[in-house]
Structure 1
Amino acid sequence: MVTFFPMPYPDETLYSMIARYHIWSGNLNSKATLRDLFNTTSVTAGRELPANINLLINNLPDKCTLTVDKIIKNHTLYKYYTAFLTSERANYIYDLMAEGKGSLIFTGLGMCNNNMKIDSSLKYCKVCVDSERDNFGEAFWHVEHQVPGVLMCQKHLSELCICTKSIEMKNRQEYLNLELSISNKDTIVAHLNTKIIEYQKKFCKNVNNIINGGFGFKKMNFFREHYLKELIDKGMAESRMKIYQQDLLRDFKSYFGDDYLELLGCNFDIDNKFNWVTTITRKHRKSFHPIQHLLMIEYLNIDINELFNANYIEVKKGKTYFNKTDEEKAIYRQKWLELRKKHPNNSKSFIIDLDIATYTWLNRHDKNWIKENSPIKKTYGYSKKIDWEKRDEEILQEIKRVVEAMYNSKEKPERITVGAVGRKIGKVYLLRKYLDKMPKTKEYLQEKAESVKEFQNRRIKWVKENVTTNGENEWIVRREAGVK
């Protein structure tokens, strides 16, 4: 039994507490610290979901007020990782952490098949470090800063830094003290702009509610049913059996953007029918990463406190009708009219692409009004007067100029797809609807369109040429390029 142990600072991780003990104890190596605290040297320094917590508690001074429950729930990422699990699975993870079965924890979460990358690097906020040195005399690792998906410090709206030593270290039994680990080599998690900060404010607020809340665990399909209810209300579904997946996927991507989804490791291919956005709206046969749930909650504008305090519901299989209030209709009508006012000379399809969700809602629940208040459809689509051979040549030349400009741009690369090119020339609908009538254009686009892998390689090349200058390690280049 040890004679002392650091009491935790607000939001401090258990890993950080042990790292501080290691320095205060004067131990010369990590094995000595492990023997002090766990009576064994076979313990791994778990950063997110550590194990062997019972052993630790049994070795703390009698007057220490820490308990297994306090440590697991307040000083690890247990609440974050188990928030969307059933009580049976969450209790199983709790028991694994309390006992010495750390190797089974991430498998026990049931997320092995969701293709999410595990980032075990340690992160910190420079502003927090300065503040803690003034207030406590030392800085420490925060729980919230280690949460996957968190790109900034919620308190200061500042960029988080990645501790380079936490990535490079080989010893899995060593506890890094933040004060001794800050380096000039440390890089930021992500460059923040106004858009990312706004997304992160909502994301971090929801994370904070989960970590500091006392929510109960839910049944397997609890969240899926609530997502379905909101999708129906949003006009993206009619019932549990009828979800307008293509509308949903396009609108979801339009809402967050590829760059932000890439940063969170949650981007997806619309053409892949097994993408995570589609599968999370179907019957849950596996667990989904908390980031994926949080993105869906934000997209559907769900209040997370109301969600976790709600009762279980089950959406009917048959077609579901909701009587929409005049107030709801007025809100969506106003959105549509504002778009028309901003783009008076553009087609209906152009305006739809700007806000798919608004059009979909009105088309489902206010069909006559949307027909009367949309741009008059031009009839050139099937007109025999259209010289498709001539149009093919004209569009081809436009597209060649755009594609060449996208390849040669010094700005951050944008993936070359039919949709991206169509948006740049203002002819998304034409390319989607009549591409088969323009064989030269179609052939050129098929040749130039990038796969996800090709685009990632081009982004890496761009980072090497335009961002990094000192021959940085491959992992730094890949992170700057947003490639997992």
Structure 2
Amino acid sequence: MLPFFTNPYPDELLYSAIARYHFYSGNLDCKDTLEELFGSRSVIPSVEIGSYFSVLAEQLGPQYSVESLLANHTIYPYYVFFLSKGRQREILQDVLEDGKALYTRLGIVAGSICRKDSLYYCAECAKADTEQYGEPYVHREHQLQGINYCSHHEIPLRKYPIQSDSRIEYIRFELNHMNLTDIYDADPYKNIAATIAKQAYQLLQLPLHELSREVVSSKCRRLLRERNLITASNRVRQKELYQAVQSHFPTGFLQQYESKLTETDEYNWLKVLTRNAKRHVHPLRHLFLLHFLQQDINGFKNLATDQGAFGTGPFPCLNKAASHYKQFIIQDVDVTRDFKTKNLIGTFTCSCGFIYARKQTTDIFKIGRVKAFGEVWHQKLNELSNEKLSIRAMARELGVDSKTIKRYLIGNVEMKQQENSDPGLKILQYKQEILDAIKQFSFLSRTEIREKFKKQYIYLYRHDKAWLHENLPTTKQKHKPTTSVDWSKRDQQYVQRIKVLYQQLLQEEKPVRITILRIGKRLGILANLERHLDKLPKTKQFLNEITETTQEFQLRRCYIVIDALIQNNEPVIMWQVQRIAAIKIHHFHEIKPQLKRYIEMKQEVGNDERTTS
């Protein structure tokens, strides 16, 4: 345990506290400081988070723990709330050890935007720190990617001039290297950028692991549902969401923060964020979505998670004639969308036969419309009618208006169906009506009889389908004249058309996989390619040559990226190729050897060309 340590100031980066310790301890070599704190001279200082926290916490004493250091003196909370629970546990293990996989798990490597190549400070914060503590220090909220304003003073952050490029040196802020003037350039995005900075600061103040990606995603879905951006089938309305987000932010804002949206891109950050994909989305972009949803972090954390349009059930039966009235016994809800208003409608069906519907926003005990009253309700109506109660009294008892009672008492369709409750009699009646119709209208086809006698046809179809099919007139087949096809000529035509389309597909800006389905749809010949390909030998051979498997398409996308990098004289870095080509990591490992051979071949060709010239 160390004899002393310069305790971190509020929201100070651990990196900054160690830099101050190195200064006040009098160590001349940073490696001596590393050995004192981490028990190793080979640790590489990290500004954002760090590693070997278990050793460091033991050296600093019992007042420090790994969790407290992570939560209060690193930028870890900026990322952690948008990671899955499993990923959070993995990261805790990383920081206890060497932290080699830490930044990959956080998504800082692959998903970084607006990266900062130095330390940043707020001039007003530096003045206040000097007045209160006698020296300025590195605030962690000023080092967050994408955050360009101070959350407290709403002024732009300034870059601290670092004099050394050593990897093992700790930089301590000094006033004589800081610009503390109050002159700043005009910024059209100041208001929204300062608001985002405040939200980022609130993230840093949350208790560690209070949120996770699963919880955040569910809360966002609830907010999207309230804005009618979730369909009845529980999918996000991506087109409407894209348009709403685009109109919410000022023109050029998202582009400046490396978050420009392209609607046709299936992997733009908005689609990835609102789908349950495993791809990492930068915290800044989560804050952009929350800004669109008009949520601040403190209010968002207390928001309930999404329970679906009508909740998870069970739901109450609202049949006043039933003994279980208002009891929660309906297990499921059928969600549809109103054709005119586009509002979500829930239909609730009880075992007593009572079926009602209501809108998503109405009270759970309020009926929007009764679709069926059911046997229990009709039986209760008959009992009340026999008791000679008034129409109004029966209406109050059954929870409907007087007109409904009158309609059902004077021979409503449902009442008539009850009176004729013997299904056998109804089947006999409908069969006779169908036979009479066939005899009377002998010229009608089976389809025409079905259209003319819908009620009888549907009832018999449900209860005696065999009799119906046996007695209806047989369908007359219409014989179409056959025409001979010159398949050889058609084969030649198809090959020429496919060759032209193939070149067009290869030239498309966004690569598409070349398949028989895509070619057939584009040329309007899919039916022949699916059913008669054996009659088109040249077409079949050419398709076999040009169509791609999934892996071949992945390779072609990577080849395009590699060619572009080599043409621009840029280094070919594998992870960069994988990200630009949008290949999943496990698929990328499978094609990596072929990519390496392709890169070697391209480099050899380039060397030969240079030698020849």
Q: Among 83, 99, 103, which residue is 2:100 paired with?
A: 103
The residue number in structure 2 matching 1:46 is 46
The residue type equivalent to 1:210 in the other structure is: L
The residue number in structure 2 matching 1:284 is 277
Quote how far apart the aligned CAs of 1:23 are: 0.9
**Kindly tell me: are residues 104 and 34 of structure 1, through their superposed partners in 2, closer, same or farther at Cα, counting changes over 3 Å?**
same
**Kindly tell me: are residues 20 and 78 of structure 1, through their superposed partners in 2, closer, same or farther at Cα, counting changes over 3 Å?**
same
TM-score, length-scaled by structure 1 = 0.59
Quote how far apart the aligned CAs of 1:138 are: 0.6
The residue number in structure 2 matching 1:137 is 134
Q: In the alignment, is the contact (CA less than 8 A) between 2:199 and 2:297 conserved in 1?
A: yes
Q: Among 113, 118, 123, which residue is 1:116 paired with?
A: 113
The residue number in structure 2 matching 1:302 is 295
Secondary structure at the counterpart of residue 195 of structure 2? helix
The residue number in structure 2 matching 1:174 is 169
Q: In the alignment, is the contact (CA less than 8 A) between 2:30 and 2:170 conserved in 1?
A: yes
The residue number in structure 2 matching 1:72 is 70
The residue number in structure 2 matching 1:81 is 79
The residue number in structure 2 matching 1:212 is 205
**Pairs within 5 Å for 1:360-375:** none
Quote how far apart the aligned CAs of 1:112 are: 5.1
The residue number in structure 2 matching 1:260 is 253
Deviation readout 1:156-180 (Å, 9 max, x if unpaired): 1111012232xx7432211100117
The residue number in structure 2 matching 1:91 is 89
Q: Distance in 1 between matches of 2:233 and 2:175?
A: 54
The residue number in structure 2 matching 1:158 is 155
Quote how far apart the aligned CAs of 1:92 are: 1.9
Quote how far apart the aligned CAs of 1:153 are: 1.0
Q: In the alignment, is the contact (CA less than 8 A) between 2:57 and 2:64 conserved in 1?
A: yes
Q: Distance in 2 between matches of 1:309 and 1:91?
A: 23
Secondary structure at the counterpart of residue 178 of structure 1? coil
Quote how far apart the aligned CAs of 1:276 are: 0.7
The residue number in structure 2 matching 1:224 is 217
Report percent identity of matched pairs: 28
The residue number in structure 2 matching 1:12 is 12
Quote how far apart the aligned CAs of 1:147 are: 1.9
The residue type equivalent to 2:120 in the other structure is: K
| Bigger Cα Rg | 2
Q: In the alignment, is the contact (CA less than 8 A) between 2:57 and 2:66 conserved in 1?
A: yes
**Kindly tell me: are residues 245 and 98 of structure 1, through their superposed partners in 2, closer, same or farther at Cα, counting changes over 3 Å?**
same
Q: In the alignment, is the contact (CA less than 8 A) between 2:113 and 2:257 conserved in 1?
A: no
Count of matched residue positions in the alignment of Structure 1 and Structure 2: 317
Q: In the alignment, is the contact (CA less than 8 A) between 2:113 and 2:145 conserved in 1?
A: no
**Kindly tell me: are residues 286 and 272 of structure 1, through their superposed partners in 2, closer, same or farther at Cα, counting changes over 3 Å?**
closer
**Pairs within 5 Å for 1:315-394:** 315=308, 319=337, 320-321=344-345
TM-score, length-scaled by structure 2 = 0.47
**Kindly tell me: are residues 112 and 154 of structure 1, through their superposed partners in 2, closer, same or farther at Cα, counting changes over 3 Å?**
closer
The residue type equivalent to 1:280 in the other structure is: L
Q: Distance in 2 between matches of 1:94 and 1:205?
A: 26
**Pairs within 5 Å for 1:27-66:** 27-60=27-60, 62=61, 65-66=63-64
**Kindly tell me: are residues 219 and 211 of structure 1, through their superposed partners in 2, closer, same or farther at Cα, counting changes over 3 Å?**
closer
Is structure 2 residue 188 aligned with structure 1 residue 198?
no
Quote how far apart the aligned CAs of 1:218 are: 4.7
**Pairs within 5 Å for 1:399-478:** none
Q: In the alignment, is the contact (CA less than 8 A) between 2:85 and 2:213 conserved in 1?
A: no
Deviation readout 1:218-249 (Å, 9 max, x if unpaired): 56543333323322322334346544323322
**Kindly tell me: are residues 27 and 92 of structure 1, through their superposed partners in 2, closer, same or farther at Cα, counting changes over 3 Å?**
same
Q: Distance in 2 between matches of 1:286 and 1:181?
A: 44
Q: In the alignment, is the contact (CA less than 8 A) between 2:51 and 2:94 conserved in 1?
A: yes
**Pairs within 5 Å for 1:237-252:** 237-239=230-232, 241-252=234-245
> After the TM superposition, which of the residue ranges 140-149 and 235-244 deviates more from structure 2?
235-244
The residue type equivalent to 2:148 in the other structure is: L
Long gaps (5+) in structure 1: 326-484
Secondary structure at the counterpart of residue 252 of structure 1? helix
Quote how far apart the aligned CAs of 1:216 are: 4.4
Q: In the alignment, is the contact (CA less than 8 A) between 2:122 and 2:157 conserved in 1?
A: yes
Q: In the alignment, is the contact (CA less than 8 A) between 2:152 and 2:198 conserved in 1?
A: no
CA-based RMSD of the aligned residues comes to: 3.0
Secondary structure at the counterpart of residue 71 of structure 1? helix
Q: In the alignment, is the contact (CA less than 8 A) between 2:129 and 2:136 conserved in 1?
A: yes
